[in-house]
Structure 1
Amino acid sequence: MVLVVTPSHAQRQLADHVRARRLAMELTQEGLASRSGVPLSTLRKFEQKSEISLEAFLKLLLVVGGMEEIVKALEPQDAPFRTIDDVLKAEQGKQARKRGRRG
């Protein structure tokens, strides 16, 4: 089964995550807004409608935590190729596809 996550669903999950962490820290919306520098109206809109700027979202994460997980998720995986020459060598090393004979 393939799971498809829409951008709006991902936004909702992020908002729910920040809200849950805020509540776990026993912070009010006003408290988190004050500590993060994000306007209270922006935080309320985020928790209700999942809409926020990237800058404001990152400010919230700095307070409630979770920045490390996002940064780690963005780290590149070990690439099998380091240079274009590595790619070309790999292409040359592939065997030609064998085809059946007709008739």
Structure 2
Amino acid sequence: MLFISLSKIQKKIVESIRARRLQMELTQEGLSERAGVPLSTLRKFEQKGVISLDSFLKILSVVGGLEEIVDALKPKEQHFKSIDEVLKSEEKTIRKRGNRK
């Protein structure tokens, strides 16, 4: 459950990327060139927070943070309290598809 709105998260991400860019003493043009992202896309991202996933990942690969994103999205390991929980988890089949709506 989120306790912060998506727009606030979006704003925090933009601020963080911009701060990393400035810390690296890069202009928007410099980051755009290094990341292989059109300058207009980078400007739109810093102004409105709108960007494609591909462009976002390219920018992260330059300013840093890509590894942290990948690590944050890894599934969490299960911590068992008893052997019964272990046995029950082994009985469950792993779904490879979601439920239909």
Shared fold, TM over 0.5: yes
Instruction: Kindly state the Cα deviation for residue 14 of structure 1 after the two structures are TM-superposed.
Output: 0.9
What percent of counterpart residues are identical?
58
1:39 aligns with 2:41: no
Classify 1:34/1:86 alpha carbon distance in 2 versus 1 (closer, same or farther; 3 Å).
Answer: same
The CA distance in 2 between the partners of 1:88 and 1:62, in whole Å, is 38
Structure 2 counterpart of 1:63:
62
* Runs of at least 4 residues off by over 3 Å: none
Q: Deviations over 1:31-88 (max 9, x none)?
A: 000000110001001001111111100000000000111111111111247xxx6249
**Structure 1 SS opposite 2:70:** helix
Greater mean deviation of Cα atoms: 3-12 or 27-36:
3-12
Structure 1 counterpart of 2:88:
86
The CA distance in 1 between the partners of 2:90 and 2:50, in whole Å, is 44
TM-score (norm 2): 0.75
Q: Which runs of 5+ in 1 are unaligned?
A: 90-103
Structure 1 counterpart of 2:97:
none
RMSD: 2.3
Q: Which runs of 5+ in 2 are unaligned?
A: 81-86, 92-101
The CA distance in 2 between the partners of 1:66 and 1:88, in whole Å, is 35
The CA distance in 2 between the partners of 1:53 and 1:3, in whole Å, is 22
TM-score (norm 1): 0.74
Structure exhibiting the larger radius of gyration computed from Cα positions = 1
The number of residue pairs the alignment matches comes to: 86
